[in-house]
A and B are shown apart, each in its own frame.
Chain A
Amino acid sequence: MDKLVQQLLILAFTGLAAGILGALLGLGGGIIITPVLTLLMGLPIQYAIGASVIAVIATSSGATIAYLKDDMLNLRVAMFLEIATTVGAILGAVVTGLVNSSVLYFLFGALLLFSVYNMIRKMMSKGEKLVSVNDDSYAQKLRLNGSYYDKATKQHVDYSVTNVPGGFAMMFGAGLASGLLGIGSGAFKVLAMDTIMKMPLKPSTATSNLMMGVTAAASATVYFFNGAIQPQIAAPLAMGILVGATIGSRIMQYLPTKVLRWIFIPVIGYMGLQMLLKGIGVNI
Chain B
Amino acid sequence: MDQSTREETEKIELVIGKLLRVGVIISATVILIGMAMFIISGHSGYAGASHPTTPSAILSGVVALKPYAIMMLGLFLLILTPVLRVVVSIYAFFKEKDFLYTAITTVVLVILVIAMFIGYAG
Contacts and interface: CB of A to CB of B under 8 A. Distances in A.
Interface in A228-248: 229-232, 234-236, 238-239, 242
B78 A147 contact: no
Interface stretch (A64-72, A110-118, A275-283): A64-72
B48 interface: no
Interface residues of A, number: 57
Interface string B102-122: 001101100110111011101
A86 interface: yes
A241 to B, nearest CB: 10
Given A146-B1, A230-B51, A58 B115 contact: no
B79 A226 contact: no
A253 interface: no
A202 B28 CA distance: 27
Contacts of B71: 231-232, 234-235
Given A61-B24, A216-B82, A54 B35 contact: no
B5 A86 contact: no
A250 to B, nearest CB: 14
Contacts, number: 161
Interface string B64-83: 00001001101110111111
A89 B116 CA distance: 12
A83 B107 CA distance: 7
B101 interface: yes
Contacts of A69: 14, 17
A226 B54 CA distance: 9
A73 B31 CA distance: 27
Contact of B12 (A8, A61, A75): A75
Interface in A75-94: 75-76, 79-80, 82-83, 86-87, 89-90, 93-94
Contact of B44 (A213, A229, A232): A232
Contacts of B68: 231-232
B85 A235 contact: no
Interface residues of B, number: 56
A143 B5 contact: yes
Nearest to B72: A231
Contact of A225 (B17, B54, B81, B112): B54
Most chain A Cβ neighbours within 10 Å, of B54, B76, B82: B82
Contact of B108 (A54, A83, A146, A225): A83
A218 B115 contact: yes
A132 to B, nearest CB: 15
A10 to B, nearest CB: 14
A239 B31 contact: yes
Given A4-B38, A229-B75, 8 more contacts: A79-B86, A79-B101, A86-B115, A142-B100, A214-B83, A214-B112, A231-B75, A234-B75
The 7 closest A-B pairs by CB, nearest first: A68-B17, A218-B115, A213-B82, A222-B119, A231-B71, A217-B82, A221-B119
Interface of B: 1, 5-6, 9-10, 12-14, 16-17, 20-21, 23-24, 28, 31-32, 34-35, 38-39, 42, 44, 51, 53-54, 68, 71-72, 74-76, 78-83, 85-86, 89, 100-101, 104-105, 107-108, 111-112, 114-116, 118-120, 122
29 contacts: A8-B39, A57-B78, A57-B79, A58-B78, A60-B82, A61-B82, A68-B13, A68-B20, A75-B9, A75-B12, A79-B86, A82-B108, A86-B112, A90-B111, A90-B115, A93-B118, A94-B118, A143-B5, A143-B100, A213-B82, A218-B119, A221-B79, A231-B44, A231-B51, A231-B68, A231-B72, A235-B71, A238-B28, A242-B24
